[in-house]
Amino acid sequence: MSEEKYEGLLPRFLKYVKTETRSNPDSKTIPSDPKETAFLNELKAELISLGLSDVHINPQSSYLVATIPSNIDKDVPTVGFIAHIDTADFNAHNVNPQIVEDYDGESDIKLDKDGQYVSEFPSLKKYQGNTLITTDGSTLLGADDKSGVAEIVTMAAYLMAHPEIKHGAIKIGLGPDEEIGTGADHFDVKDFGSDFAYTVDGGPLGELEYETFNAAQAEIEIQGKDVHTGVAKGTMINAIQVAIDLQNSLPAHDRAERTDGRQGFYHLYKFDGTVDHVSMTYLIRDHDKQTFIERKHLLERVVAGLNNELGADLVTMNLYDQYYNLKDALKDHMEVVEIAKKAMENLDIKPDIYPVRGGTDGSTISYKGLPTPNLFAGGENMHSRYEYVSLQTMERALDTLLEIVRLTAEEDK
């Protein structure tokens, strides 16, 4: 039966990654791209065919929601598992996954005819003897987060085929637009209907994440005045130079490439401009809430100071929060983390707990009132042509979901 448990996992994953679902950051629709809607409808049909109940796409969030009904006669907590179906801002057209069986942990893996290899990544040494799924070098793979989707759906298929495995009610949520940071904003906690949940959206074996950045974004516009350089003195306002002055007014050591661990940063993410006009986008990150607030205040003071020097409000900024530290939302619900930790330990998986230098949909969902830490799904080198995943790690993720289900069935509500 143990081998049967994994049946369908690899074929599902390969099918899912070949379906293009890249989200669109410039769209105002939900989901942001029609390809996501089409894929959600395909998944809806699959979940219905497996026999799940109350399968529907929420009109508010476009999350596909489904229920595996309880098959025990006592009242236990309802657990939920959540994954996102969209892929990141990298070529995702015509994904052509390659399978490398029994990888030796050292050899080059050739990605394409031009000779790009992935052996330079130290993480590969962990996967000796594993079956790896890689890209062909022209696209990302989409293990972020279709590995999580495949693991959740395969769990559902296994439980529906084996009613002798006793469990409480289980909720499944598959949603759009995580990669552009908007999907979880519309998540409907009441419709989902679980007592706690896990996003299955982490990386290597054992990742258990419940501490993230606080995050904000600043969109800055600088209006310059472009005149002939021969008569520039006292007249020209070089928007590029103003942007340089702005960047140089921020702490030089507080940049993403110079920080690690719990150290926050200002990251100049986008820059486009001429003497006449510049657009800049900053990401502001910090694990500590008070330091996060101070970072935003500093940027506001820098902008105000530049406008004062210029004698006019030529620098405008739209500064807004994106998500908050998951740990602050979970501090009164750490039993949810402990269940996941115990599940991994029961399976001889060492939990890998560390502060995430990023965020998850679970951050937003937890602040909506549903405690939602993040579990490993297996992906490595995500968002790039060098992305890969171990089939054995995906199997261990499936094991972890089933063990969480088992442990939850032992809890009293």
Q: What angle do CA 99, 172, 152 make, to 5 degrees?
A: 20
Contact status, residue 181 vs residue 88, Cβ threshold 8 Å: no
Q: Is the peptide bond before 176 cis (omega within 30 degrees of 0)?
A: no
In this structure, which amino acid lies at residue 345? E
Q: How far apart are CA 218 and CA 135, in angstroms?
A: 34
Check if the beta carbon of residue 329 is closer than 8 Å to that of residue 209: no
- On whether the CB atoms of residues 133 and 95 are closer than 8 A, the answer is no
Residues 13, 15, 20, 21: is their CA dihedral positive or negative?
negative
Catalytic pick among 144, 151, 178, 387: 178
Q: Are 397 and 200 in contact (CB under 8 A)?
A: yes
348 catalytic? Reply is: no
Measured between alpha carbons, how far is residue 235 from residues 180, 232, 282, 310, 409 in Å? 40, 5, 29, 11, 73
CA distance 274 to 217: 22
> Residues 86, 145, 177, 395: which is the catalytic one?
86
Those residues whose C-beta lies under 8 Å from the C-beta of residue 263, and which sit 6 or more positions away, are 254
Does the annotation count 102 as an active-site position?
no
The two tokens of residue 81 are 């598992």
Return the active site residues: 86, 178
